[in-house]
Amino acid sequence: MPTYRLDLSYDGSGFHGYARQPTVRTVQGELEAALARVLEPLDTVVAGRTDAGVHARHQVVSFSTAKPVDPHRLARSLTKLLGPEIVVYAAARAPDGFSARFSATRRTYRYRVLNRPYPDPLRRATSWHVSEPLDLGAMNRAVGYLVGEHDFASFCRKREGASTVRTVLSATWSAPAGGILELQIAGTAFCHQMVRSVVAFCVEVGKGRIEPGTTPQVLHARDRNEARGAAPSHGLVLWQVDY
């Protein structure tokens, strides 16, 4: 059967994550319901399952169907049903064997911290407000130790039988403007809550509560308690998926 690819973005605020759940509203649930209306009931594959409240600028979904598909019309019909919270901005026939999950070579996330004394109501759904001044240089030194292949058990929520070994390709904190500090982190894949745990750890480093040079010890400890929890979900965006 032919395989098709959807490129979409969504505001995760009103969803209990991406993955389908029986009693709550999810991105996958809404998308598959729309696909059933436009085509037929389908099982989809996603590049990265996002948690409740996490947004996506670029998410990729694949599915197979024997039904005739006009990609341009499909994208337009799905967006009409799902918008404005979910927008399917591209649809295309994919190469044989394509999987949104397993064919991906790089996933990039961005996390925004609003670092100033007072919050911003217009950014509350897309950033984590931290009022205490943060040392950007120290945060960058800490995150630099995470680049490469490591066991990220200290930064991952444990799932029975799942490996926590991951490869981080790049990780950098920057200060774009207006009190925003932004982490951009790219890897081949990420385990559950890994990026948010990295952010929470870096914020503790930025506050001066943890020395950046202790990051390798935190990694080697393979102890979830060492990473100081996870940052709030609403500051996180799945920014880009590459193939």
Q: Which residues contact 160 (CB under 8 A, 6 or more apart)?
A: none
What are the DSSP E strand ranges found in the chain? Answer: 3-10, 45-46, 55-64, 86-93, 106-114, 128-129, 148-151, 165-174, 180-187, 236-242
Q: Is the Cβ–Cβ distance between 79 and 89 less than 8 Å?
A: yes
Tokens of 138: 């120290």
Q: Output DSSP code: residue 94.
A: P
- Tell me which residues are annotated as active site: 51
Instruction: State how far the Cα of 200 lies from the Cα of 197, in Å rounded to an integer.
Output: 5
Fold of 106-242: Alpha-Beta Plaits (3.30.70)
Higher pLDDT, 83 or 3: 3
What are the pLDDT digits (tens) for 26-72? 999 999 999 999 999 999 999 999 999 999 999 999 999 999 999 99
Q: Is the Cβ–Cβ distance between 226 and 218 less than 8 Å?
A: yes
Domain segments of the chain as ranges: 3-93, 106-242
**Mean model confidence pLDDT for the chain:** 96
Q: Is 49 helix (H, G, I), strand (E, B) or coil?
A: coil
CB-based burial, 81-109: b 16+ in 10 Å, e otherwise: ebeeebebeebeebeeebbbeebbeebbb
Same fold flag, 3-93 and 106-242: yes
Q: Is 82 helix (H, G, I), strand (E, B) or coil?
A: helix
pTM for this one? 0.96
What are the pLDDT digits (tens) for 170-226? 999 999 999 999 999 999 999 999 999 999 999 999 999 999 999 999 999 998 888
Tokens of 180: 């925003």
Instruction: State how far the Cα of 147 lies from the Cα of 75, in Å rounded to an integer.
Output: 37
Work out the number of other CB atoms within 10 angstroms of the CB of residue 48. Answer: 19
> What is the assigned CATH class of domain 3-93?
alpha beta
